[in-house]
Structure 1
Amino acid sequence: MALIATGKLSWIQWRWLPYAGALAYPLYLLHQDIGRKLIGFLEPHLSPYAVLAGAVATMLVAAWLVHRYVERPAARLLKQGMARAAAQVRAATP
């Protein structure tokens, strides 16, 4: 953390980091319940490595879908609501 805070790692171009951040919360919400069920379903049919790869891939796709079709539209609605509320506060302030 100290290296990042002092700018010593600024030469690293982490273009994937915003995408990972966007998937972090939906993945956190979904991974335990859906992941366990998916692993339980795949385990008798595939090797452990295939189960791991399948579970990780499925959970990342599910997290992206939640981000794209739930979080983005909700963020748009929240932003519009906040703008309306801020306009009402400004209008009511003398």
Structure 2
Amino acid sequence: MKDLLLTEDYDLQIKNGDFVIGDSQEQSVELLLLSKQGEFKNNPEAGCDILSAKNGIIERFLDREIRVQLDADGFQLDNMSLTEKGIDISGKYI
């Protein structure tokens, strides 16, 4: 999946005065996980708000919410594991 790429600070990447385009699959998943519902005007139901689980208990609800949101976004999830140290996701957009 190709799209505009963002910097680590979530600003548009610009190189030689033009936008940088590249594989944005990881970036799209990251933005979906970090965003809160209502932040995307065209799709207000999208968003997992995983930062709200920071320093908290990782429950089955969060696991389910991530799976539902990824599926709704067109991401075919092959494997996912949630731990106290982070989230490991493998799959691809279809």
- Answer yes or no: same fold by TM over 0.5: no
Higher relative contact order (CA 8 A, sep 6+): 1
Pair member with larger Rg: 1
Which is strand-richer, 1 or 2? 2
> What TM-score results when the alignment is normalised by the length of structure 2?
0.28
Q: What TM-score do the two structures reach when normalised by structure 1?
A: 0.28
Q: Which has the higher helix share?
A: 1
